[in-house]
């Protein structure tokens, strides 16, 4: 296994990372408990701007992998993945995917410039938030920027489902121009820009329709530069979304196991029945696999010497989507009737899990990428096994 | 999972790895695996403390983290040497940790370990009985004291390598009046004596990889007892934990192992490709890869020298994945999969036989979720030992063993 830096190897956990995890967990327990989630999901905005600013300014958790000279913490994507796990476990509402997952890495990978640098610093600090207007329900590809066309600085088109767009102070728009993809910054209050919030199955991460009708944007990147920025954004967002799924699955495992120990039926804890116990064991196995895949993706994006970063992210998204959804479904099943009520938190996690599985490409879409990268390119060195011929 | 290593541990581990690497390179340089005998090479590794790096010095080790053994194995195999585990799997993987932890006489332990490492003395495991499979602690073979020896009677089953073994790890009942876990004692028995009769046990592939072992007034020295009289179950747990680690713990590069067969078959049969089979293989590949990454992560984060319950995770996942990969291969092959070359009984171990066929390995994989602990028992272990869920109510725990119904 390759040594990465500072004598660290893949999957090593530093003391700083352990401290980051416990700091975020404490913060979420105090400032973003279930009651807060419920209050926010019933509020008009769906998130808490002041709490977001604390995540950015006080905890520095919004730009952990961003270089210090760009306003970030100068860590690696593994740090940000640990944050994504914890924030996912607490179902933190707010534009995590749009801002931390997509906009920040797109800006980091875009060419430097006054507009970019100022925006990146604000996003890191949590004083402004952003959404990426693009097809974020499929892996990065030719269709990513197909919804909006660009002619110079004029943008037109509709993207039907954009997470976090209603919250955004800034829209980062992926468009298609005469010379390929374009990445532009658009003010949602500008003329020709419509952001219409839609009813979302997952009330903790809202979707909106974004309509651009001859809106004017500031172009940050075009052609290969824009393509590079978008590819990087999808890579980082994929690794972070996978980490969020790990956080969700782990939390569901913990709460389900705790319930199985205290819930009594037939005179004994239901966790003593093998039918229940074995389902919990399978959840555990899934969580362990998902965590390995998600961490490997974060490590590989941070240091591409470790692996083909796109393949590592595809593996993580394929596996973590399955595991988090399965964990959420099993959590409801193992809680029985109470798990189906509005009062219990299981449905909140279930809704986040099904939304996460769809975002940035379904497990099937990522298996397609894996099949193309692995199965369709097998070389002559892959020998056929000996088969009986009778 | 064990707690992750701290940065400081990692740094000191890195320099230890460098020393181990240097020592292993020196051994293969002085004893070229391509020219010297296996006994010489493995003996040199043992003497250099590289047979089990986590063992104490003088017992084939250097008192280091067990994860560093991979450094040695990699150097030895890259130089053309065999794996010590492959030559004497039961002894190397399970016997060694048990005798090191519970052996009562260091000289005796050393006398067992060196020929175990070299493969000159093969070991086998005498646990399972016809009446004691998953419930191995309910076993009925007896050991009765006779001077400084014990006299053993009973029948063991599913004994790998018994027909070539010098030593057997035996668990026998020494006190039927105690509840079942408390009346067991653990011995190392000489397999090459008149009281030990080994018969082949034929399996569904046609081969006989395993044996039945009949113990008729077999003798074992009290000096060859591991642990205290009546404490055999605790010793057996050490062996079993290492069994799961040994079965599930081998990792190669991406795409290696059983999934490689599916990939090779996929490449060889483009005429049978369908989108449905392609997605099924992509899903299997992804699971195999995340299993591999999980093993790599467990190895990296393991600080303790003892295998923990994560061995049960890898055993469970590996076994079920093997079966599904071979099922996929059979479906991909189609009608041709229904051919079979030869059901004549042989002593070949299917996985160790370079001439074995896919169909044999497919049939053999049915045993993966049974041998070394059924998947049902594995899930109980994960539920009870890792997640701390309560056990099933039991009717055998506090009763004398002889009063518990069997059959």
CA-derived radius of gyration, chain A: 21
| CATH number of the domain located at residue range(s) B238-386 in this protein | 1.20.140.10
Name the architecture of domain B7-118: Orthogonal Bundle (1.10)
User: Given this model, what pLDDT does residue B307 score?
Assistant: 55
Where are any strands of DSSP class E within B207-308?
A: 210-221, 225-226
Domain spans in chain B, listed from the N-terminal domain onward: 7-118, 123-231, 238-386
Q: Which of B243, B261, B320, B348 is catalytic?
A: B243
The predicted model gives B333-350 an average pLDDT of 94
Percent of chain B with pLDDT over 70: 92
User: Given this model, what pLDDT does residue B248 score?
Assistant: 45
Cα distance from A381 to chain B (closest Cα, Å)?
9
Mutate which of B381, B383, B394 to test chain A, going by most A C-beta atoms within 10 A? B383
Rounded mean pLDDT of chain A? 96
Q: Any CB–CB contact under 8 A between A370 and chain B?
A: yes
The predicted model gives A326-341 an average pLDDT of 98
Asked if residue B237 lies in contact with residue B245, where contact means CB atoms within 8 angstroms, the answer is: no
Q: Which residues, at least 6 apart from B214, have a Cβ–Cβ distance to it below 8 Å?
A: B155, B196, B197, B198, B199
Please list every residue in chain B whose beta carbon sits closer than 8 Å to the beta carbon of residue A276: 389
Q: Which of B233, B256, B386, B381 is nearest to B315 (CA)?
A: B381
Rounded mean pLDDT of chain B? 91
- Strand partners of residue B124: B168
Cα distance from A191 to chain B (closest Cα, Å)?
46
Task: Answer positive or negative: Cα dihedral of B188, B124, B316, A271.
Answer: negative
Inter-chain CB proximity B255 and A12 less than 8 Å: no
Would you place residue B296 in the very low, low, confident or very high pLDDT band (cuts 50, 70, 90)?
A: confident
Please list every residue in chain B whose beta carbon sits closer than 8 Å to the beta carbon of residue A285: 313, 316-317, 382
Instruction: Based on the residue annotation, tell me whether B376 is a catalytic residue of this protein.
Output: no
Residues 104-163 of A with CB under 8 A from B: none
Would you place residue B241 in the very low, low, confident or very high pLDDT band (cuts 50, 70, 90)?
A: confident
Asked if residue A229 lies in contact with residue A173, where contact means CB atoms within 8 angstroms, the answer is: no
| CATH number of the domain located at residue range(s) B123-231 in this protein | 2.40.110.10
The predicted model gives A193-208 an average pLDDT of 97
**Cα→Cα distances A245→A97, A325, A350, Å:** 12, 8, 11
**Cα→Cα distances A262→A28, A267, A271, Å:** 25, 11, 8
User: Given this model, what pLDDT does residue B247 score?
Assistant: 47
User: Given this model, what pLDDT does residue B8 score?
Assistant: 46
Would you place residue B2 in the very low, low, confident or very high pLDDT band (cuts 50, 70, 90)?
A: very low
Q: Which residues, at least 6 apart from B274, have a Cβ–Cβ distance to it below 8 Å?
A: none
Tell me: pLDDT of B23 over 60: yes
Q: What is the pLDDT of residues A49-90, one digit of tens each?
A: 999 999 999 999 999 999 999 999 999 999 999 999 999 999
Asked if residue B77 lies in contact with residue B45, where contact means CB atoms within 8 angstroms, the answer is: no
User: Given this model, what pLDDT does residue B6 score?
Assistant: 43
Tell me: pLDDT of B5 over 60: no
- Strand partners of residue A156: A149, A213
Q: What is the pLDDT of residues B365-400, one digit of tens each?
A: 999 999 988 999 999 999 999 999 999 888 888 899
- All domains of chain A in start order, with CATH: 226-375 (1.20.140.10)
Q: What is the count of residue pairs from A and B with beta carbons less than 8 Å apart? A: 191
Q: What is the dihedral of CA A47, A52, A53, A54, to 10 degrees?
A: 130
Tell me: pLDDT of A1 over 50: no
Asked if residue B364 lies in contact with residue B348, where contact means CB atoms within 8 angstroms, the answer is: no
Cα distance from A285 to chain B (closest Cα, Å)?
6
Q: What is the pLDDT of residues A152-192, one digit of tens each?
A: 999 999 999 999 999 999 999 999 999 999 999 999 999 99
Q: What is the pLDDT of residues B222-232, one digit of tens each?
A: 999 999 999 99
User: Given this model, what pLDDT does residue A21 score?
Assistant: 97
| Closest partner CB to B293 (pick from A3, A293, A384) | A293
Inter-chain CB proximity B281 and A375 less than 8 Å: yes
Tell me: pLDDT of B308 over 70: no
Inter-chain CB proximity B383 and A280 less than 8 Å: yes
pTM of the complete model: 0.91
Tell me how many helices (H) and strands (E) chain A has: 11, 10
The predicted model gives B338-360 an average pLDDT of 93
Residues 217-276 of A with CB under 8 A from B: 253, 257, 260-261, 268-269, 271-274, 276
Give the span between the Cα atoms of A307 and A56, in whole angstroms. Answer: 31
Asked if residue B46 lies in contact with residue B113, where contact means CB atoms within 8 angstroms, the answer is: yes
Cα distance from B44 to chain A (closest Cα, Å)?
26
Give the span between the Cα atoms of B285 and A186, in whole angstroms. Answer: 42
Q: What is the pLDDT of residues A113-155, one digit of tens each?
A: 999 999 999 999 999 999 999 999 999 999 999 999 999 999 9
Give the span between the Cα atoms of A124 and A106, in whole angstroms. Answer: 13
Inter-chain CB proximity B317 and A296 less than 8 Å: no
Q: What is the pLDDT of residues B188-214, one digit of tens each?
A: 999 999 999 999 999 999 999 999 999
H-assigned helices in chain A: 15-31, 34-41, 49-53, 77-89, 104-109, 114-125, 223-262, 274-302, 309-335, 346-358, 363-370
Where do we find the tokens 């409801």? A332
Would you place residue B45 in the very low, low, confident or very high pLDDT band (cuts 50, 70, 90)?
A: very high
Inter-chain CB proximity B313 and A284 less than 8 Å: yes
Percent of chain A with pLDDT over 90: 97
User: Given this model, what pLDDT does residue B250 score?
Assistant: 54
The predicted model gives B298-304 an average pLDDT of 67
| Closest partner CB to A371 (pick from B278, B317, B383) | B278
Give the span between the Cα atoms of A364 and A371, in whole angstroms. Answer: 10
Tell me: pLDDT of B170 over 80: yes
Q: What is the pLDDT of residues B245-280, one digit of tens each?
A: 544 455 688 999 999 999 999 999 999 999 999 999
Where do we find the tokens 């696999």? A289
| Residue B253 CA from chain centroid, whole number | 21
Asked if residue A36 lies in contact with residue A27, where contact means CB atoms within 8 angstroms, the answer is: no
Q: Which residues, at least 6 apart from A297, have a Cβ–Cβ distance to it below 8 Å?
A: A81, A238, A239, A242, A309, A312, A313, A315, A316, A317
Would you place residue B177 in the very low, low, confident or very high pLDDT band (cuts 50, 70, 90)?
A: very high
Inter-chain CB proximity A292 and B290 less than 8 Å: yes
The predicted model gives B320-326 an average pLDDT of 97
Would you place residue B7 in the very low, low, confident or very high pLDDT band (cuts 50, 70, 90)?
A: very low
Asked if residue A264 lies in contact with residue B369, where contact means CB atoms within 8 angstroms, the answer is: no
Inter-chain CB proximity A385 and B286 less than 8 Å: no
Please list every residue in chain B whose beta carbon sits closer than 8 Å to the beta carbon of residue A370: 282, 285-286
Inter-chain CB proximity B7 and A14 less than 8 Å: yes
Tell me: pLDDT of A3 over 60: no
Give the span between the Cα atoms of B342 and A390, in whole angstroms. Answer: 8
The predicted model gives A225-249 an average pLDDT of 98
Name the residue in chain B with its Cα closest to that of A267. B393
Residue B337, judged by CB atoms within 10 A of its CB (0-12, 13-18, 19+), counts as: middle
Reduced to 3 states (helix: H, G, I; strand: E, B; else coil), residue A174 is strand
Please list every residue in chain B whose beta carbon sits closer than 8 Å to the beta carbon of residue A291: 294, 297
Tell me: pLDDT of B127 over 50: yes
Tell me: pLDDT of B9 over 90: no
Tell me how many helices (H) and strands (E) chain B has: 13, 8
Long-range CB contacts (< 8 A, 24+ apart) of B347-353?
A: B347/B163, B347/B200, B347/B207, B347/B208, B347/B209, B348/B207, B348/B209, B349/B160, B349/B207, B349/B209, B350/B205, B350/B207, B350/B209, B352/B86
Name the residue in chain A with its Cα closest to that of B74. A1
Would you place residue A6 in the very low, low, confident or very high pLDDT band (cuts 50, 70, 90)?
A: low
Inter-chain CB proximity B267 and A382 less than 8 Å: yes
B299: tokens are 């190895």
């Amino acid at each position: 296994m390759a040594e990465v830096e500072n004598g660290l190897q893949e999957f090593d956990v530093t003391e700083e990372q352990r401290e980051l995890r416990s700091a975020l967990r404490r913060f979420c327990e105090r400032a973003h408990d279930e009651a807060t989630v419920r209050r926010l999901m019933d509020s008009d905005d769906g998130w808490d701007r002041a709490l977001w600013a604390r995540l950015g300014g006080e905890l520095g958790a919004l730009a952990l992998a961003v270089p210090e000279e760009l306003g970030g913490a100068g860590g690696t994507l593994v740090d940000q993945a640990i944050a994504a796990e914890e924030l996912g476990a607490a179902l933190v509402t707010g534009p995590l995917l749009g801002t931390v997952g997509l906009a920040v890495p797109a800006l980091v990978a875009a060419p430097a410039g006054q507009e970019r640098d100022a925006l990146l610093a604000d996003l890191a600090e949590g004083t402004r938030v952003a959404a990426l207007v693009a097809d974020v329900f499929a892996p990065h590809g030719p269709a990513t920027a197909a919804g909006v066309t660009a002619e110079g600085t004029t943008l037109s088109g509709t993207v039907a489902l954009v997470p976090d767009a209603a919250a955004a102070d800034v829209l980062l728009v992926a468009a298609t121009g005469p010379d390929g993809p374009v990445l532009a910054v658009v003010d949602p209050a500008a003329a020709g820009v419509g952001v219409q919030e839609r009813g979302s199955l997952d009330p903790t991460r809202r979707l909106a329709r974004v309509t651009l009708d001859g809106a004017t944007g500031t172009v940050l990147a075009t052609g290969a530069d824009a393509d590079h920025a978008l590819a990087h954004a999808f890579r980082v967002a994929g690794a972070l979304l996978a980490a969020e799924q790990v956080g969700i699955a782990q939390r569901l495992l913990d709460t389900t196991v705790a319930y199985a120990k205290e819930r009594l039926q037939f005179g004994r804890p239901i966790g003593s029945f093998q039918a229940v116990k074995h389902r919990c064991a399978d959840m555990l196995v899934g969580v362990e696999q998902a965590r390995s895949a998600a961490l490997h993706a974060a490590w590989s994006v941070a240091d591409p010497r470790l692996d083909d970063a796109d393949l590592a992210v595809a593996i993580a998204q394929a596996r973590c989507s399955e595991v988090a959804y399965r964990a959420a479904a099993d959590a409801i099943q193992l809680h029985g009737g109470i798990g189906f009520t509005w009062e219990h938190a299981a449905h909140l996690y279930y809704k986040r899990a099904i939304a996460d599985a769809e975002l940035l490409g379904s497990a099937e879409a990522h298996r397609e990428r894996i099949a193309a990268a692995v199965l369709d390119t097998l070389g002559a060195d892959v020998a056929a096994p000996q088969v009986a011929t009778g | 999972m064990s707690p992750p290593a701290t940065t400081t541990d990692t740094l000191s581990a890195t320099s230890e790895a460098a020393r181990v690497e240097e020592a292993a390179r020196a051994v293969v340089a002085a004893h070229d695996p391509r020219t010297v005998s296996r006994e010489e090479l493995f003996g040199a590794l043992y003497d250099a403390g590289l047979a089990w790096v986590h063992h104490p010095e003088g017992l084939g080790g250097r008192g280091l983290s067990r994860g560093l053994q991979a450094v040695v194995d990699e150097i030895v195999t890259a130089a053309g040497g065999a794996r010590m585990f492959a030559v004497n799997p039961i002894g190397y993987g399970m016997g060694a940790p048990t005798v090191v932890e519970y052996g009562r006489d260091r000289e005796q332990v050393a006398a067992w370990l060196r020929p175990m490492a070299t493969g000159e003395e093969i070991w086998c495991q005498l646990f399972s009985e016809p009446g004691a499979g998953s419930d191995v602690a309910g076993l009925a073979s007896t050991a009765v004291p006779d001077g400084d020896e014990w006299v053993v009677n009973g029948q063991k089953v599913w004994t790998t390598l018994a027909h070539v073994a010098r030593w057997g790890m035996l668990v026998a009942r020494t006190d039927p009046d105690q509840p079942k876990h408390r009346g067991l004692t653990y011995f190392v028995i000489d397999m090459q004596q008149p009281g030990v009769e080994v018969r082949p046990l034929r399996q569904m592939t046609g081969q006989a990889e395993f044996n039945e072992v009949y113990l008729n007034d077999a003798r074992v020295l009290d000096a060859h007892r591991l642990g205290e009289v009546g404490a055999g179950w605790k010793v057996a747990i050490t062996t079993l934990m290492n069994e799961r680690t040994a079965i599930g713990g081998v990792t190669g590069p991406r795409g290696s192992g059983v999934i490689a067969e599916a990939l090779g078959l996929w490449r060889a049969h483009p005429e049978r490709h369908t989108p449905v089979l392609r997605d099924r293989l992509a899903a299997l590949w992804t699971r195999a890869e995340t299993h591999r990454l999980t093993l790599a992560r467990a190895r990296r984060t393991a600080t303790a020298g003892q295998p923990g319950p994560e061995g049960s995770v890898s055993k469970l996942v590996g076994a079920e994945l093997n079966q599904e990969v071979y099922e996929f291969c059979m479906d991909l092959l189609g009608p041709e999969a229904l051919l079979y070359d030869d059901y004549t009984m042989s002593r070949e171990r299917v996985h160790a036989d370079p001439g074995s066929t896919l169909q044999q390995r497919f049939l053999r994989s049915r045993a993966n979720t049974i041998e070394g602990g059924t998947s049902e028992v594995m899930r109980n272990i994960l539920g009870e030992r890792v997640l701390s869920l309560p056990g099933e109510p039991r009717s055998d725990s506090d009763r004398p063993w002889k009063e518990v119904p069997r059959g």
